[in-house]
Amino acid sequence: MATTRKSRKRLWIILSAVIVVLIGGGVVAAKTLGGNTKLDPTQLAKVETGDIARSVVATGKVWPITQVEVKSKASGIVTRLDTDINAHVSKGEVLAQLDQQEILDQVAAQKAQLTAAESMAHSAAAAVEFDKVAAEAPDLPMLQHGYDRALEMSKDGVVSKQALDDAQQKYLAAVNVRDKATAQIKVDIAKQHQA
């Protein structure tokens, strides 16, 4: 029985201490959060009825919601302007006209360059055909036959050494012309493609 009284007494002491701490904490919180808030007297005014009219003056720049910059792909001197600032325009409408003389001069120069390139292409094609004829070397078999005959006759002592050398030179020169023309065909085809 004595232990139950001591345990009840301890329980009451603990409960009393907890209640005192809670009440003290509540008072401190109330003072901190809801302390004396004094209003500035300059912020107070009497209530009146009437019209409200205020104006605000500010410096700065006003920017549009959508800003469109109109530029031309072509450059030149404007000779005619068909629209004004802030005018409504529609797609395809002519806004300005440039001086056409400069553009026409550029077109003429480009046409001249095109004509020159076409002429170079035709010249290269003609050179290819000429080189094909030279590469066929139609007189080469006849010159080879003449050289072979002069060689045979030289063995028999009928043709002089000079005549044999001349026949050999003519034959080798024709072979060189054929080989050169064959190589030149590739060069001329490359020039034709370039033109």
Give CA 47 to chain center in angstroms. Answer: 67
Instruction: Name every residue whose Cβ is closer than 8 Å to that of residue 184 and which is 6 or more positions away in sequence.
Output: 127, 131, 134
pTM more than 0.85:
no
The residue with tokens 């003519």 is 170
* pLDDT confidence band for 8 (50 / 70 / 90): confident
- Note the pLDDT of residue 1: 63
Arithmetic mean of pLDDT over the chain: 82
* pLDDT at site 36: 62
Query: CA angle, corner 28, sides to 24 and 34, nearest 5?
Result: 140
Q: State the Cα–Cα distance between residues 27 and 56, nearest whole angstrom.
A: 47
Is the per-residue pLDDT at 131 higher than 60? yes
Over residues 90-101, the mean pLDDT reads 85
Render pLDDT for 16-43 as a digit per residue (tens, 0 to 9).
999 999 998 888 887 777 656 677 777 7
Residue 111 — pLDDT band, cuts 50, 70, 90? very high
- Residue in 6, 8, 26, 7 with CA at minimum distance from that of residue 18: 26
pLDDT band at residue 125, thresholds of 50, 70 and 90?
Answer: confident
**Region 82-100: what's the mean pLDDT?**
85
